[in-house]
């Protein structure tokens, strides 16, 4: 589904459908009467009732940009009620991170509040405030906090290792803490005679124009098993800015040799190049076929008007994928109103697979689910893992979820022989008994299946024709 802001003070929720129009408006949430401007939207189940709630951060005209109020609208029967809401009794200096702080699979809210210089956590369910981190460091605004597993223990956040991105005007670096070295993975921003660069964030509190932080939206565009990215770049000698695909390719220079991969700007994506003044670009599986399409937001006639563009991914190579979504696992067969919460966004789960490719080499991949939520993170509530052209079954697929602080046993479960081009919905219920978790498997046939069926039917028709001819000749003789 799509959550769209209109005029800065109205939220419209479009529900996806298999028939045209593919997105139909279902819920309207006007905020004009409250005199606030909506700055971000984060869906999630904040009270653990298996219903989709919606968290809004808002800014009042009388307050500065560093004072954001938070409203939670409680979901009921796939709708929202303007009168059924909770306004938090603290304001945030910046957009909060939605994460699972205590491992109960109910989303919590993390950020620096107006009454403290240290990060606070609002625990979902009972909505109680607690100190989150004992640190003297000041949180950067705008931040890029993430809740993600970095040390392969299948638990987001329980690690002292680190992995940072540094984006400057004309460079993109990655810091791997286990080798203590910055690795440049994108340095070539020249296209013919034009030099491009990232669009700097304008942190002007007095400006009314919306400024978008530098953000990379990650997704496997060509399903080769290596994550690509979408970024907004600006012409350094002009004012035009566009969305570009950063393709993940083998490293071809000495600077990134140690990590073997790098990003290369895909300059020749014609449909993407036609969208001028783009401000945000992200991936989205519009047709639910496992192929990531692209959504682009561009400026309209004025700086406060925006247009939404959708681009279908016409990637033709018959590559394979596996699509995984992990639910909250707060209920299984005893859910309220007998509705399994398939649509509840769950931050924190971690997915990993190992298999053998067509050449017999070991291959693995991993991804975290909903690791970020602030500043137009626009992450999908599921993960699409590209498998390349290997049609082999996935030998092992592991799913892990956050665990409570102090618990040593890892909460993860393994599934074997997963069919490529399938969608796996994992229900981790109960949380502390992984062997009891269940999974629902849905298949998405690829083009090769259709071609195989056509070839098989053709062979059968040919054999029947030969049998008919031989039978006729025998009858004549």
Residue pair 83/72 in contact by the 8 Å Cβ criterion: no
Q: Is residue 376 part of a domain?
A: yes
63 DSSP β-pair partners: none
| pLDDT in the model for residue 150 | 74
Residue 476: inside a domain: yes
Report the CATH number that the domain containing residue 364 is assigned in CATH.
2.60.40
Return phi, psi of residue 150, to 5°: -115, -10
The answer to whether residue 212 sits within a structural domain is no
**Residue 255: DSSP 8-state:** G
Q: Does residue 169 carry a pLDDT above 50? A: no
Q: Do 406 and 477 share a domain, yes or no?
A: no
One domain, residues 365 and 441: yes
Token output for 333: 């067969």
- pLDDT for 400 equals 93
* Claim to verify: residue 360 and residue 460 sit in the same structural domain: no
Better-predicted residue by pLDDT, 178 or 371: 371
Q: What is the mean pLDDT of residues 148-153?
A: 75
Tokens at 326, concatenated: 């992990």
User: For residue 370, is pLDDT > 80?
Assistant: yes
Q: Where are the beta strands (DSSP E) in 113-151?
A: 119-123, 128-131
The yes-or-no verdict on residue 117 having pLDDT over 80 is: yes
In terms of domains, do 469 and 380 share one?
no
| In-domain check, residue 378 | yes
In a domain, 62, yes or no: yes
- Domain membership of residue 410 (yes or no) is yes
pLDDT at 294 (0 to 100): 94
pLDDT at 316 over 50: yes
Rg for the chain, CA atoms, rounded: 25
Question: What pLDDT was estimated at residue 460?
Answer: 93
pLDDT for residue 447: 62
pLDDT at 171 over 70: no
User: Of 217-231, 235-249, 370-384, 441-455, where does mean pLDDT reach its minimum?
Assistant: 441-455
Q: How far is it, in rounded angstroms, from Cα 396 to Cα 324? A: 13
Q: Are 27 and 13 in contact (CB under 8 A)?
A: yes
Query: In the sheet that 163-167 helps form, which strands lie side by side, from edge to edge?
Result: 163-167, 172-176, 181-186
Q: pLDDT grade, residue 205 (50/70/90)?
A: low
Instruction: Report the SS3 class of residue 179.
Output: coil
pLDDT at position 161, please?
A: 43
- 352 and 384 in a single domain? The answer is yes
Does residue 452 share a domain with residue 434? no
The CB density around residue 286, as the number of other CB atoms within 10 Å, is: 19
Return the pLDDT at 238: 81
Q: Identify the burial level of 250 via C-beta atoms within 10 angstroms of its C-beta, where 0-12 means exposed, 13-18 middle and 19 or more buried.
A: exposed
Residues 422 and 461 in one domain: no
End-of-domain residue from the set 143, 161, 196: 143
Q: Let me know: does 456 contact 465? Beta carbons within 8 Å.
A: no
pLDDT number for residue 209: 66
Task: For residues 476 and 419, state if they share a domain.
Answer: no
Q: Are 373 and 472 contained in the same domain?
A: no
CB 137 within 8 A of CB 127: no
Last residue of a domain, one of 143, 175, 210: 143
Number of domains making up the chain: 3
Judge whether 461 lies within some domain.
Answer: yes
Rounded Cα distance, 126 and 108, in Å: 10
317, 389 contact by CB (below 8 A):
yes
| 415 and 475 inside one domain | no
Task: Give the burial string for 92-120 (b: 16+ CB within 10 Å, else e).
Answer: bbbbbbbbbbbbbbbbbbbbbbeeeeebb
Within 168-252, strands assigned E span 172-176, 181-186, 190-191, 194-198, 217-219, 228-235, 241-250
Residues 358 and 465 placed together within one structural domain of the fold: no
SS3 (DSSP) at 267: coil
Residue 462's H or E segment, with its range, is helix 447-476
Task: Show which of 90, 116, 143 is a domain's final residue.
Answer: 143
Same domain, 358 and 408: yes
163 or 27, greater pLDDT? 27
Q: Is position 309 within any domain?
A: no
Range of the domain at 113: 37-143
Q: Distance between CA atoms of 464 and 456, rounded to whole angstroms? A: 12
- Pairing verdict, β 194-198 and 228-235: antiparallel
Q: How far apart are alpha carbons 393 and 357 in whole angstroms?
A: 9
């Amino acid at each position: 589904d799509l959550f769209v802001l209109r005029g800065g003070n109205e939220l419209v929720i479009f529900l996806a459908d298999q028939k045209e129009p593919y997105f139909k408006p279902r819920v309207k949430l006007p905020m004009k009467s409250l005199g606030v401007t909506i700055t971000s939207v984060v869906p999630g189940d904040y009270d653990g009732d298996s219903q989709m709630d919606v968290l809004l951060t808002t800014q009042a005209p009388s307050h500065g940009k560093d004072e954001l109020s938070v409203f939670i609208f409680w979901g009921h029967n796939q709708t929202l009620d303007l009168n059924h809401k909770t306004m938090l009794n603290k304001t945030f200096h910046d957009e909060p991170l939605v994460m699972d702080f205590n491992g109960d699979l109910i989303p919590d809210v993390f950020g620096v509040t107006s009454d403290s210089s240290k990060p606070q956590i609002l625990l979902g369910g009972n909505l109680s405030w607690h100190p989150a981190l004992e640190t003297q460091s000041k949180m950067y605004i705008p931040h890029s906090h993430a809740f993600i597993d970095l040390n392969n223990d299948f638990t987001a956040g329980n690690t002292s290792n680190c992995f940072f991105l540094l984006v400057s005007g004309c460079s993109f670096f990655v810091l791997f803490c286990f080798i203590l070295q910055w690795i440049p993975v994108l340095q070539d921003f020249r296209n013919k005679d034009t030099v491009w660069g990232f669009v700097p964030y304008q942190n002007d509190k007095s400006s009314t124009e919306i400024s978008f932080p530098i953000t990379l939206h990650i997704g496997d565009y060509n399903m080769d098993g290596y994550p690509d990215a979408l970024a907004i770049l600006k012409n350094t000698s002009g004012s035009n800015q566009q969305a570009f695909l950063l393709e993940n390719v083998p490293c071809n220079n000495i600077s990134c040799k140690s990590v073997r991969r790098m990003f290369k700007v895909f300059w020749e994506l014609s449909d993407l190049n036609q969208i001028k003044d783009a401000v945000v670009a992200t991936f989205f599986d519009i047709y639910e076929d496992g192929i990531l399409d692209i959504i682009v937001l561009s400026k309209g006639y004025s700086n406060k008007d925006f247009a939404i563009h959708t681009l279908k991914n016409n990637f033709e190579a018959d590559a394979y994928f596996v699509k995984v979504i992990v639910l909250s696992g707060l209920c299984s067969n005893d859910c309220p109103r007998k509705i399994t919460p398939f649509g509840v966004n769950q931050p924190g789960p971690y997915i990993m697979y190992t298999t053998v490719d067509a050449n017999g080499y070991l291959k693995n991949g991993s991804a975290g689910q909903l690791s970020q939520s602030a500043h137009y993170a626009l992450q999908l509530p599921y993960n699409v893992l590209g498998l390349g052209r290997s049609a082999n079954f996935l030998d092992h697929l592991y799913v892990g979820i956050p665990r409570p602080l102090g618990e040593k046993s890892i909460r993860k479960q393994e599934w074997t022989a997963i069919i490529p081009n399938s969608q796996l919905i994992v229900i981790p219920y109960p949380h502390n008994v992984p062997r009891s978790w269940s999974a629902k498997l849905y298949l998405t046939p690829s083009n090769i299946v259709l071609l195989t069926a056509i070839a098989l039917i053709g062979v059968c028709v040919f054999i029947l024709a030969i049998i008919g001819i031989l039978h006729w000749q025998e009858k004549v003789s």
